[in-house]
């Protein structure tokens, strides 16, 4: 028994270099909502992020609904607390913003468990430490071609064995020009992923992909909206390039549909958007059982642990919103690969001094 004594939250708004994609439009800031859960004299740290919208609502759900719900309860039974939070927010939740709020607490509870047991997260997950290949990922749809190529050169200079490019320009020829130029620059040895950020109908996504398949693609990410599971299943059947989804799936139930309908080849976990480490783990269990590949979305530091629990982890995403300058110990990439941290818990700590100027609530 570790009785939850206090839950502390904060809300920050971090400026980003302006970027964007086909589904979410222009992005110029990131919101960070931090949670500290204190129990048994130990303090577990968790967080959620947004792409600049909705973060105040996530913070409000934490302050007004989840923190009072958890006060005085046993922090050690994480799965039961996840279920309790899910049930409490069911009417307004079943995913969406509620998943982000649940995630922030769930991450703190896993961190707390690691601190209590003096074990790093991957050990708590029953996994062994693995080296995982990392790919460079831009949020680069608005970048002119020379900027896109400069970014790609940066990824190559860091020794990353894969790069991802956003697609979804109004004129399909613009996507072709950009993808062709990146493929030419990186050569045949570096993997190339494409991300459409749900820009198209399934039919249009199919036609767009046909024009790009010749560039030997590693995966085709979020070709259409997450609600269209049948459309994704059709793309899996009709295209040779593997379909990747996960960042917009906000519950284990949503992953279940994709796995049951064979609507994805690569499951991309994100312990914030999926609804917590608990939820991402369930998604990985499904991927493992179905023989699917696993990768991650953003959440570089947590995902390095989680992907150790995947039977077939192909890549970790090194995301454009790198939090490095706000972390006590930024993730290290060595020869294009990452490893989970060895300190107890998640190993992820925000540098309070670096975050402080951006605190709003």
Q: Which is nearer to Mg ion, 195 or 301 (CB)?
A: 195
Verify whether residue 297 is a known catalytic residue. yes
Q: Which stretch binds Mg ion (CB under 5 A): 112-120, 187-195, 275-283, 347-355?
A: 187-195
Q: Rounded to an integer, what distance in angstroms lies between the CA atom of residue 174 and that of residue 142?
A: 12
Q: How far is the CB of 222 from Mg ion (least distance, A)?
A: 5
Of 30, 31, 140, 195, the one binding Mg ion by CB under 5 A = 195
Distance of alpha carbon 186 from alpha carbon 149, whole angstroms: 10
Least separation in angstroms between residue 273's CB and Mg ion is: 10
Round the CA-based radius of gyration of the chain to a whole number and report it.
20
- Give rounded-to-5 percent helix, strand, coil for the chain: 40, 25, 35
What residue spans of 30-138 are helical by DSSP H? 55-61, 67-70, 78-88, 96-117, 121-124
Nearest to Mg ion of 195, 254 (CB atom) = 195
The strand ranges marked E within 274-332 are: 293-296, 313-318
Site for Mg ion contains 140 (CB under 5 A): no
Q: Which is nearer to Mg ion, 111 or 191 (CB)?
A: 191
Nearest CA to 271 out of 42, 44, 48 is that of 48
Query: What distance in Å separates the CA atoms of residue 190 and residue 315, rounded to the nearest whole number?
Result: 13
Answer yes or no: 166 catalytic. Answer: yes
Give me the catalytic one of 45, 143, 166, 319: 166
Q: Which residue has the tokens 């192909």?
A: 314
Closest approach, Cβ 27 to Mg ion, in A, equals: 12
Say which of 232, 297, 318, 319 is annotated catalytic. Answer: 297
Specify the stretch interacting with Mg ion by CB under 5 A; choose among 80-88, 192-200, 279-287, 346-354. 192-200
Q: How far is the CB of 89 from Mg ion (least distance, A)?
A: 25
Q: Is 333 helix (H, G, I), strand (E, B) or coil?
A: coil
The CB-of-296 to Mg ion minimum distance in angstroms stands at: 11
Binding residues (CB under 5 A) for Mg ion: these are 195
> Known catalytic residues?
166, 297
């Amino acid at each position: 028994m570790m009785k939850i004594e206090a839950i502390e939250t904060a809300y920050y708004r971090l400026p980003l270099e302006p970027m964007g994609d086909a589904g979410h439009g222009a992005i110029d800031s990131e919101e960070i909502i931090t949670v500290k859960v204190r129990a048994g004299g130990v303090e577990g740290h968790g967080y959620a992020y947004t792409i600049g919208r909705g973060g105040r609502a996530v913070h409000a759900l934490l302050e007004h609904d989840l923190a009072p719900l958890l006060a005085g309860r046993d922090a050690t039974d994480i799965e039961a607390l996840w279920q309790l939070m899910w049930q409490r927010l069911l009417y307004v939740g079943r995913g969406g913003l509620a998943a982000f709020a649940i995630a922030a607490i769930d991450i703190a509870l896993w961190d707390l468990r690691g601190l209590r047991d003096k074990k790093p997260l991957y050990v708590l997950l029953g996994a062994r430490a693995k080296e995982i290949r990392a790919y460079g990922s831009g949020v680069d749809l608005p970048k002119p071609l020379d900027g896109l190529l400069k970014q790609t050169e940066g990824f190559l200079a860091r020794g990353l064995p894969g790069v991802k490019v956003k697609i979804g320009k109004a004129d399909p020829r613009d996507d072709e020009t950009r993808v062709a130029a990146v493929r030419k620059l990186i050569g045949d040895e570096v993997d190339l992923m494409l991300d459409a950020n749900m820009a198209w109908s399934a039919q249009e996504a199919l036609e767009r992909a046909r024009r790009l398949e010749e560039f030997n693609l590693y995966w085709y990410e979020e070709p259409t909206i997450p609600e269209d599971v049948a459309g994704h299943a059709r793309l899996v059947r009709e295209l040779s390039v593997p379909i990747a989804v996960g960042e917009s799936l906000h519950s284990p139930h949503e992953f279940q549909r994709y796995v049951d309908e064979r609507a994805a080849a690569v499951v991309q976990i994100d312990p914030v958007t999926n609804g917590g480490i608990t939820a991402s783990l369930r998604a990985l269990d499904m991927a493992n059982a179905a023989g699917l590949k696993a990768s991650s979305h953003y959440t570089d530091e947590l995902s390095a642990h989680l992907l150790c629990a995947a039977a077939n982890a192909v890549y970790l995403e090194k995301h454009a919103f790198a939090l490095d300058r706000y972390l006590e110990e930024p993730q290290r990439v060595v020869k294009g690969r990452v490893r989970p941290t060895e300190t107890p818990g998640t190993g992820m700590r925000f540098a309070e001094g670096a975050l402080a100027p951006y605190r709003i609530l």
